[in-house]
Structure 1
Amino acid sequence: MSKKGNNRNTVFMIFAIFAISINMRPAITSIGPMLETIREQLSLSNAQVSLLTAVPVICMGVFAMLAPILNRTFGLRQTMTVMIILIGLTTALRGFMPGYAVLISTALIAGIAIAVMGPLLSAMIKQYFPDRAASVIGIYSFGMGVGSAASAGLTAVFFDKTGSYLFALSIWSVLALIGLAAWVLAMSNRIEVRQTDAVIVKAQRKKVKSPWKSRKAWLFLLFFGLQSSAFFSIITWLAPIATSAGMTLLQAGTLLSVMTTVQIFLNILLPQLMQRFPGRKFWLLLMLIAGMTSIILFWTGIHSLMWVGAFFMGIPLGGLFPVALLLPLDETETAEEASAWTAMMQTGGFIMGGLLPLLIALVFDWTANHQYTFAIMMLLYVMMFILTFLIGNKKERETY
Structure 2
Amino acid sequence: MIERSSRGSLALFIGLMVLVGLNLRPALSSLAPLLTRIQQETGLSALAIGALTTLPVLCLGLFAPLAPWLARRLGPERALAAGLLLLSAGLALRGVPLVASLFLGTLMVGAAIGVAGTLLPALVKRELPAGADLMTGVYTMALCLGGALGAGLSIPLSEWLGGWPLGLASWAALAVTALIAWVALAPRRDEATLPGGGGAMGAILGQPLAWQVMLFMGLQSSLAYIVFGWLPTLLVQRGYGEAEAGWMMGASVMVQLPAALAAPWLARLGRDQRPALLVVLTLAATGFWLLLQAPTSLRWLGVVLLGMGQGGSFSLALTLIVLRTGNSRLAGKLSGLAQGGGYTLAAMGPLGVGVMLQLGLGLAAITGVLVTICALSASFAMFAGRNRRLESDADGRVFTR
Cα deviation, residue 107, structure 1: 1.4
**Alignment CA distance shift 1:190-1:38 (3 Å):** same
In structure 2, what is the equivalent of residue 251 of structure 1?
A: 244
2:378 alignment partner, one of 358, 381, 385: 385
Q: Which range is displaced more, 297-306 or 321-330?
A: 297-306
CA distance in structure 2 between the aligned counterparts of 1:80 and 1:60, rounded to whole angstroms: 15
In structure 2, what is the equivalent of residue 272 of structure 1?
A: 265
SS of alignment partner, residue 387 of structure 2: coil
2:332 alignment partner, one of 339, 350, 354: 339
Code of the aligned partner of 2:38: I
Code of the aligned partner of 2:383: L
CA distance in structure 2 between the aligned counterparts of 1:85 and 1:393, rounded to whole angstroms: 38
CA distance in structure 2 between the aligned counterparts of 1:194 and 1:252, rounded to whole angstroms: 52
Q: Verify: 1:179 aligned to 2:172, yes or no.
A: no
Q: Which range is displaced more, 30-39 or 378-387?
A: 30-39
In structure 1, what is the equivalent of residue 91 of structure 2?
A: 91
**Alignment CA distance shift 1:75-1:391 (3 Å):** closer
CA distance in structure 2 between the aligned counterparts of 1:226 and 1:121, rounded to whole angstroms: 21
Q: Is the 8 A contact 1:72 1:195 kept in 2?
A: no
Cα deviation, residue 250, structure 1: 3.5
In structure 2, what is the equivalent of residue 2 of structure 1?
A: 2
In structure 1, what is the equivalent of residue 114 of structure 2?
A: 115
Cα deviation, residue 278, structure 1: 4.7
Q: For 1:342-361, list aligned pairs within 5 A.
A: 342-361=335-354
Unaligned runs of 5+ in 1: none
Question: C-alpha root-mean-square deviation of aligned residues, in Å?
Answer: 2.6
Q: For 1:124-273, list aligned pairs within 5 A.
A: 124-159=123-158, 164-187=163-186, 189-191=187-189, 210-273=203-266
Q: Verify: 1:53 aligned to 2:53, yes or no.
A: yes
Cα deviation, residue 148, structure 1: 0.7
Q: TM-score, normalised by structure 1?
A: 0.89
Code of the aligned partner of 1:298: L
CA offset digits 1:316-366 (Å, max 9, x no partner): 221111211122322221111111111111111010111221122223223
Q: Is the 8 A contact 2:235 2:292 kept in 1?
A: no
Code of the aligned partner of 2:10: T
Code of the aligned partner of 1:283: A
SS of alignment partner, residue 367 of structure 1: coil
**Alignment CA distance shift 1:376-1:101 (3 Å):** farther
Q: TM-score, normalised by structure 2?
A: 0.88
Cα deviation, residue 371, structure 1: 4.5
In structure 1, what is the equivalent of residue 393 of structure 2?
A: none
Unaligned runs of 5+ in 2: 391-398
SS of alignment partner, residue 221 of structure 1: helix
